[in-house]
Amino acid sequence: METPTSTGPHTGRRTGRPGRRAALALAALAGAVPMLAGATATAPPAVAEPGDNARFRQLNKQVDQLERSLGGDLAKLRDVQFDANRAIQRAKDLRAELDASRNLVAELAANQYMTGGGDPTVQVLTAGDPSNVLAAMSLSTHLAQNKSAKVQQIQQLVVDQEKAKQEADRKIQELEKEIADLRSQKRRIQSLMKKFKPQSPAFGLGGITPRMKQVKDELDRETGPFPQIGCVRTTGDPQDHARGMACDFMVTTGGQMATGAAQSLGDRAAAYAIAHGRRLGINYVIWRQRIYSMHSPGWRSMSNRGGVTANHYDHVHISVY
């Protein structure tokens, strides 16, 4: 193969070499792909890192330590942790999507240029819809003519990834704040735990603790009846249910959103549990995608888990100490 120091004969004008062509194509691509929709070529925009993984891992350790020291599931803390993890994963996915799109478009441009397709900048910008590139569909579908749409969609990936990174950072900050809040209330929580010492599930009570049995019976008597009350389970995300320390007071069945009388039933049950929580040893109440912790009074919104039941729109969840 010819090298820069080769002394072999040359005839006429030197022909372009494939390696040099590929380099030219990729160099041209660096200016072409990140262009703003209108535009003149600019340097590629800085792409945000997906999220501070080391920081998030350290916060996860702190969550586990707090949960152990406070003797049980900290629902709101776990909820914020879930949100942060989901935001970081979305940022990572978008970053991977952006990297894949750039790599595939670069490969397409280089291949077309090396096969005599002409100027790589023009070919990249007229290669078609980048969403098709991202989907790794047939290269033949990338021969669209709309330059502005091509540039805008690639640029949109950069914008979306930056927004996802900012959201991940915001969720990590929320997790840090939640940890700090819990630490500041640690003595109060521990005093409640000392007052309501943990109980073991009783098989004669269906696997729930005596305290949970008292709450279940009183709520059913004072605010019910309910279509169904479910307590012990070990599947899905059981948390306090697995330890017999939680019950779900269903106000509808079949995953239907509670409205009218059913919603009023849930409102009454939640209000009663909160009003009598300190006497009954209730830890927290979840209803309609909100949580009320007895150690930190007031309703607080929770993350969207994606469904009526997962977001507690068809039942009131009550956990005890």
155's tokens:
């640029």
Two tokens at 83?
């949100």
What are the b/e assignments for 275-311, b being 16+ CB within 10 Å? eebeebbbbbbbbbbebbbbbbeebeebbeeeebbeb
pLDDT score at 94? 79
Q: Name the residue with tokens 């969207």.
A: 304
Whole-angstrom distance, CA of residue 31 vs CA of residue 67:
51
Measured CA to CA, the distance from residue 245 to residue 208 in angstroms comes to: 6
Per DSSP, the three-state class of 197 is coil
Q: What is the pLDDT of residue 8?
A: 43
Question: What is the model's pLDDT at position 227?
Answer: 96
> How far are the Cα atoms of 9, 16, 21 from residue 13, in angstroms, in the given order?
12, 10, 16
Q: What is the per-residue pLDDT for 52?
A: 59
- For residue 184, the model assigns a pLDDT of 74
What pLDDT, on a 0 to 100 scale, did the predictor assign at position 35? 39
Sequence-ordered alpha helix ranges (H) in the chain: 18-32, 53-69, 75-114, 120-125, 130-134, 147-184, 186-195, 210-223, 260-275, 277-280
pLDDT of residue 169: 80
Note the pLDDT of residue 121: 45
**pLDDT value of position 212:** 94
The CA-CA-CA angle for residues 247, 250, 254, to 5°, reads 130
3-class SS at 320?
strand
Of 44, 46, 18, the C-alpha closest to 32 is 44
pTM: 0.51
What's the pLDDT score for residue 40?
Answer: 38
Name residue, tokens 């909820």.
Answer: 79
pLDDT at 228: 95
The amino acid occupying position 170 is R
Q: How far apart are CA 262 and CA 225, in angstroms?
A: 11
Q: 226 near 299, Cβ under 8 Å?
A: no
309: nearest Cα among 291, 289, 292, 290: 289
Closest CA to 91 of 176, 152, 172, 162: 162
| 265-276 per-position pLDDT tens digit | 999 999 999 999
CA distance 279 to 54: 42
Q: What is the pLDDT of residue 179?
A: 77
Nearest alpha carbon to residue 98 among 157, 24, 143: 157
Below-70 pLDDT ranges, the chain: 1-53, 56, 59-60, 62-74, 76-77, 102, 104-154, 188-204, 237-238
For 77-105, give the secondary structure using H, E and C. HHHHHHHHHHHHHHHHHHHHHHHHHHHHH
What residues form DSSP beta bridges with 315?
250
Residue 10: what pLDDT? 44
Query: What angle (nearest 5°) sits at the alpha carbon of residue 42, between those of residues 36 and 47?
Result: 75
